[in-house]
Amino acid sequence: MISAWSTATGRALRAVRSSSAPLTYGLIALCCLLFALGPASGLTPGYGTGNALLAAQRAYFRRWGVVPAELFAGPVREALTPATALFVHGSWVHLLGNMLFLFVFGAMTEQRMGRVEFALFYVGCGYLALLGYAAANATSAQSLVGASGAISAVLGAFLYLFPRARVTSLLPFLFFLPVRFPAWVVLPFWAALQWAAAERTSAGPGVAYLAHLVGFGLGFGYAWVRYGRTTRVRSAPAPAPEGENQP
């Protein structure tokens, strides 16, 4: 078993190193690995079952996630949680939805920015997105986890850099038939959905739509300031198909 895991890990690392967007695929692999080893996946027997597993999950999210009430009033170590929370996910659906969006939009964005800049951009915007959500819900004791803020920033940057790249989307009112639209149609529509959902959602458990909006705005603003109109990419190959899960 150990030998099989070592072989699989070695192959995955070689594939990441040889790819055109190693950081994007490395982030996906890291998030999947950490999720598989954590209590939310249900794959690690050491966390127990039933109530013991639920207690382990709550403790895990509280340790590595952002708790707004503790972030601003707790010990200094809490300042690190908006960074650690980017690599923690609450469920299989949460993980797969986020990783799908990162897979679709991350590679082209990384290739345009370069590895080092993309890494700093991803972590920095993700940190600020979660910090913005925490500031708006400063009294909340709910744990916030996930890469949604960082991935939303990638979407915002992608919109500015590749506005004409065509994205395949699944629309429920068309019986989930795949339809291809340019990014300047799909991504603003996605952002509008996040805004509408944020208006309806109160503080508490659920999806942190405000973090999505903050991340999206930061990503678009960064690309606009950093690259300007003279270096804007007019067209690009279409990315891989996208599902309808929202980060």
208, 133 contact by CB (below 8 A):
yes
SS3 content of the chain, % helix, strand, coil (to 5): 70, 5, 25
Cite the active site residues.
148, 212
DSSP conformation letters of 186-222: HHHHHHHHHHHHHHHPPSSSS--HHHHHHHHHHHHHH
CA dist 58 to 39, 64, 78, 217, Å? 9, 10, 16, 30
Question: Phi/psi at 144 (nearest 5 deg)?
Answer: -115, 125
What is the DSSP code (8-state) at residue 84?
H
**Nearest CA-CA partner of 247 in 194, 199, 205:** 194
Residue 67's nearest CA partner among 55, 56, 80, 81 is 81
Q: In whole angstroms, give the CA distance from residue 11 to residue 172.
A: 38
